[in-house]
Amino acid sequence: MPLGTWFKAGTSAAALVLAMAGAATAAPAPAHAPAGESSAARVAAVTLRYDDSRAGGWEAAIAAGIASWNANVSNVHLVEAAPGTAAEIVIVATTGWPQATLGPVRPGRQVRVELGSQAVDQGYDKTRIAAHELGHSLGLPDTKPGPCSQLMSGSSAGAACTNATPNATERSRVQSAYASGIAALAPADGRILIDAP
C-alpha cells in the first residue's frame, strides 16, 4: 500500500477515535434552569441524593425545600435516594434545634441534616427550616442576623418568617460552589451549624 494511503487511513482513524472520545465524555446540560439563566451559563448538574426515611412528620416540608432549591439553582439537583442506596444528604427528625453539616457535599460523600422540633414548637416554619438546613448542605453558612428575604438568616428573621426561597446572593454562591461539576468541588467544611436563636 502506498505511503499516502496509509497516512490518510491513519488520519481518518485518529479523527474517528477523537470524535468518539469527545462524545463519550460530554456531559448533558441540565433539563431545567432557573428563570433568566442563559443556556451558555449552564453546566451539567451535580446530582445529590437525599434520604429522609428517618424524618417522619417533615415529608411535606422537605419536599417543598427540595423543590425550592431545584427551581432556583441549575448546577446541582437534589433527588430522593432509592430505598437501600447511599445518599449524600441524610435527613433525620430530632427533638432539638435544627442543625446541619456545612457543605458543599460532593457525590459519594455524606452530610447530615437534623430537623429539630424545638424550632417548630417555638413557631418557626417547617418548610423554611428544611430549605435553610439544605442550604448548609450545599455550602451556605448562616447570615445572622438577617432579614426574612435571606433564607440563610434562619431563626434571626423571626418565627413569623416563612420565606423558603434562596435570594440572588445565596443562589449565586451555590451555583459557584457547583459550577465546574464534580471535579472542582471543595470538600465539605464538616462543621455542624446549630440554628438556635
Q: Which residues are catalytic?
A: 133
Which cell goes with 78?
437534589
The DSSP line for 13-43 is HHHHHHHHHHHHHPPPPPS---TT--GGG--
Angle at Cα 44 formed by Cα 43 and Cα 48, nearest 5°?
125
Task: Using alpha carbons, select from 138, 170, 166, 143 the residue that is nearest to residue 154.
Answer: 143
Can you tell me the distance from the alpha carbon of 168 to that of 152, in angstroms, rounded to the nearest whole number? 12
21 alpha carbon, distance to own chain's centre? 29
